[in-house]
Amino acid sequence: MLILVGLVATPVAPAATAAEPPQRVVSMNLCTDQLAMLVAGPDQLISVSALAQDPANSAMADVAGQYPVNHGRAEEIHLLEPDLVIAGRFSAGTTVSMLRRLDIPVVVFDPATSLADVRRNLRRMGEVLGRPERADQHIEAFDRRLAAIRALERDETDTDTALYFPNGYTRGDDTLIGDIVEAAGLRNMAAEMGIENGAYLPLERLVLATPDRVITASRGPGYSRSQAVMQHPVLDEIARFGVHRGLGNAEWVCGTPHVLDAVARIAALSGARAAVVE
* Number of alpha carbons in the 13 Å side-chain half-sphere of residue 13: 17
Cα–Cα separations (whole angstroms), residue 153 to 63, 92, 142, 178: 34, 45, 20, 21
What's the pLDDT at 136? 98
User: Highest mean pLDDT range out of 1-5, 35-39, 199-203?
Assistant: 35-39
The pair phi, psi for residue 255, each rounded to 5°, is -80, 75
Residue 51 · residue 90 · CB < 8 Å: no
Task: Identify any residues that bridge with 169 across adjacent strands, giving them in sequence order.
Answer: 165, 200
Residues 6+ apart with CB under 8 A from 111: 4, 5, 6, 7, 8, 88, 89, 90, 176, 255
What's the pLDDT at 228? 77
pLDDT digits (tens, 9 = 90+) for 176-220: 999 999 999 999 999 889 999 999 999 999 999 999 999 998 766
What's the pLDDT at 278? 28
Residue 55 · residue 61 · CB < 8 Å: yes
Residue 111 has pLDDT above 80, yes or no: yes
What's the pLDDT at 230? 85
What's the pLDDT at 47? 98
Sheet strands side by side (includes 159-164): 186-188, 159-164, 213-217, 243-247
Q: What is the mean pLDDT of residues 148-173?
A: 86
Cα–Cα separations (whole angstroms), residue 212 to 11, 59, 64, 166: 42, 29, 38, 20
Share of the chain above pLDDT 70, in %: 87
Determine the topology of domain 7-147 in CATH. Answer: Rossmann fold (3.40.50)
Share of the chain above pLDDT 90, in %: 68
What's the pLDDT at 247? 86
Nearest-5° angle of CA 196, CA 199, CA 205? 100
Determine the topology of domain 159-269 in CATH. Answer: Rossmann fold (3.40.50)
Q: What average pLDDT does the structure give for the chain?
A: 87
DSSP 274: P
Residue 68 · residue 46 · CB < 8 Å: yes
Residues 6+ apart with CB under 8 A from 89: 7, 10, 108, 109, 110, 111
> pLDDT-based confidence at 75, cuts 50/70/90?
very high
Is-same-fold flag (7-147; 159-269)?
Answer: yes
What's the pLDDT at 14? 46
Helices in the chain by DSSP H: which ranges?
30-39, 61-64, 74-79, 93-101, 116-129, 132-150, 176-183, 203-209, 225-228, 234-238, 259-269
- For the chain, what are the domain ranges? 7-147, 159-269
